[in-house]
Amino acid sequence: MRNYILPLRDLVVQPGLTLPIYLDNPTSVLSMETAVKEHSKVVLVAQKGYNYPNRPTDLFEIGTRADILQFLRLPDGSIHVMVQTTAPVEIADCAVDEDGIFSGICSDISQIDDSRDECVLAMRDKLADNLSRISRAKRIDIGKLRMVVNNYPLPAFIDAVIQMTGIEPDIAVQILQMKTFMEKLSALLEQVAIFVEMAKIDDAINRRVNSQMDGGRKEAILHEKMRAIQKELGDEDEMDNASLQKRIDAAKMPKDAKDKAVSELKRLRQLQPMSTEASVIKTYLDELLSMPWGKHDSAPINLKLARAELDREHSGMDYVKTRILEHLAVMKKTGNMKGTILCLVGAPGVGKTSLGKSVAAALGRKYHRLSLGGISDEAHFRGHRKTYIGSQPGRIMDALKRCGANNPVVVLDEIDKIGRDHRGDPESALLEILDPEQNKTFRDHYLEVDFDLSNVLFIATANSLNLSSALRDRMEILELPGYSEDEKVAIARNHLIRRAAADTGWLPENVEIDDDAIRHIIRKYTAEQGVRELRRCVTAVLRKTLLDLDGADVRTEFGIAKIDELLSDRASAGFTKRIGFGVRV
């Protein structure tokens, strides 16, 4: 016999019950109205999805046939129906018409009434006892359940258990088509046993959390709640575990470094967020992930451009510039940095450091300068163990992090002024850094993983050859003899006057100093191999003229007589000539 089908959301009804149904869905209302009009029974079937079904596959194939006892239409168009379920049915040839009304050929599923069997009643009582164990977790009203046991037939008890425990519809449908109450109670008891075990686990977790509230951990849990609130407000800490995992996955770290990061993150997840150890691990992971793993500047080496850059920024020194270009030519040919480390030795002011900067500009790479003067602790290069308070990576790793690339140009300035004391020998660490055969597996004490330094172009500078034999063996010494007078004049004309004007606020076109005036400054007021004192003298001339002009910037010609007038106080104050490497006489 073909019956109309009424889909129900998350509801499987047992036979033998009288229950009210409220309908406000237009299609459901139309389906019930049609069934009443044709004096037909209706079949109550659970739907598989949340929304009203569109096709037969959206319904379960097992339902419950019901008689319509009362039909009441409400003013808002909804209806209130009282039905009495009679038997479970199996639905075949289910179809849906153009109005969305479902119908199907329904055949009864045979049932055996064993509700008065003593074993069945004992199973019911055991099931009620087990439900009392999960009453708090499932919010079950045990008093109401006991009332159902004492005053209502067994189908009402089974239906109450299914509804109170929230058993999934597919399992409830399986119970509906079982033939005996013993089978149904056994299936329910199995589900309740699962709920009991889950309740035990939840209870154990809750007890553990409650115990952690003692012993000073209450504050940590409150901080964790604060972090959750901040996350909801959009103020999430970027150092949380999820973001750290994403950064680890995105970083192009070698396998050993990634394994180390994953291991530390696993430890972090087991710690309280506000503990000291968690803070140490977060800082460590941040430093490790900030390193330029796999990041490098990939600009090709252009020797013509490099030569033009060196000639533009430096006058003279043809031998030194040629040797640097040879070094770059080898790099271009071989495609790697392996080779001699250049050490530029010369008096102050001859352009050693600026040469390194020009090389970085010519290669299109990042530039970083490390001043080594006075360093006597090995930890400056190798870093501190992260267990120490205030520990941090060494200066080499910090330089790479700041550059954001693993192939910058790093100038080791004043390498001849490295010290040595009871805290260690920094030179031994520097020897490893400068050795192409060792620096590809350089290990910083803080990071505790190998980092490849073979792509870094190291250029050292020194004022003298006061270096150990081992250190000199690692490098090729290039001596910068200083500038001739003609070279100093060219440097002043092309660079120093413009920089002194910028330092004092002059417009370069308002400063007129001819070559004879520059030579006069060089001969009378400086005697150095570099040009630092020459720049100071030019700056002093412009500064004093500004004072005489009451800060006005007007076109001014600086001849020999005017220069002597302006620089006379320097000579009278004891600014005599400098000889050699800066010793006053």
pLDDT tens track for 37-72: 887 789 999 888 888 888 888 889 899 999 999 889
Give the residue with greater pLDDT, 520 vs 10: 520
Structure confidence at residue 539 (pLDDT): 92
d(CA 245, CA 301): 37
Lowest mean pLDDT among 92-106, 243-257, 570-584: 570-584
User: What gap in Å lies between CA 358 and CA 421, rounded to an integer?
Assistant: 35
Distance CA 415, CA 434 (A): 12
Q: Model confidence at 341, in pLDDT bands (50, 70, 90)? A: confident
Tell me the pLDDT tens digit for each residue of 480-500.
887 888 888 888 888 888 889
Q: Which residue has the higher pLDDT, 426 or 316?
A: 426
What pLDDT score was predicted for residue 126?
Answer: 86
Is the pLDDT at 83 greater than 70? The verdict is yes
Provide the mean pLDDT of the chain: 82
Please give the pLDDT value at position 577.
44
What pLDDT does 118 receive? Answer: 86
Where is pLDDT greater, at 539 or 140? 539
Closest CA to 478 of 337, 307, 325: 325
Of 519, 521, 561, 559, which is closest to residue 540 (Cα–Cα)?
A: 521
**Dihedral of alpha carbons 251, 254, 260, 266, sign:** positive
Please compute the mean of the pLDDT values over residues 445-473 and round it to a whole number.
Answer: 87
Average pLDDT over residues 261-275: 81
Q: How confident is the model at residue 580 (pLDDT cuts 50, 70, 90)?
A: very low
Q: Is the pLDDT of residue 215 over 80?
A: no
More confident site: 502 or 229: 502
Does the pLDDT of residue 185 top 70, yes or no?
A: yes
**Which residue has better confidence, 340 or 502?**
502
- What is the Cα–Cα distance from 295 to 275, expressed in whole angstroms? 33
- Higher per-residue confidence, 437 vs 305: 305
Q: Identify the pLDDT of residue 583.
A: 34
pLDDT of 273 > 80? The answer is no
pLDDT single digits (tens) 97-143: 888 889 888 888 888 888 888 888 888 888 888 777 776 666 666 77
Torsion of CA 37, 39, 44, 49, to 10 degrees: -30
The model's confidence at residue 537, banded by pLDDT at 50, 70 and 90, is very high
Cα distance between residue 274 and residue 296, in whole Å: 36
Q: In this structure, what token pair is assigned to residue 526?
A: 């400086």
Q: Per residue in 431-470, is it b (16+ CB within 10 Å) or e — as a string?
A: bbbbbbeebeebebbbbbbebebbbbbbbbbbbeeebeee
pLDDT band with cut points at 50, 70 and 90 for residue 216: low
* Alpha-helical runs (H) found in 291-425: 303-313, 318-334, 352-363, 379-382, 395-403
Q: Which of 202, 207, 206, 199 is nearest to 131 (CA)?
A: 199
Q: Are 120 and 183 in contact (CB under 8 A)?
A: no
pLDDT at 571 over 80: no
pLDDT for 55 equals: 85
- According to DSSP, the residues that pair with 475 across neighbouring strands are 341
**pLDDT (average), residues 333-354:** 80
Higher pLDDT, 404 or 270: 404
Question: How would you class 254 by CB atoms within 10 Å of its CB: exposed for 0-12, middle for 13-18, buried for 19 or more?
Answer: middle
The segment with the largest mean pLDDT, out of 143-152, 217-226, 379-388, 454-463, is 454-463
Indicate the pTM of the whole model. 0.55
Cβ count near 164 (within 10 Å): 19
pLDDT band at 220 (very low <50, low <70, confident <90, very high): low
Q: Is the dihedral of CA 188, 189, 190, 196 positive or negative?
A: positive
Q: Is the pLDDT of residue 299 over 50?
A: yes
pLDDT at 579: 39
Mean pLDDT of the region 367-378: 84
Q: Count of CB atoms within 10 A of residue 397's CB?
A: 24
Q: Is the pLDDT of residue 581 over 60?
A: no
- Both tokens assigned to 373: 């003067």
Average pLDDT over residues 18-45: 87
Rg of the chain (C-alpha set)? 44
Q: How many residues does the chain have?
A: 585
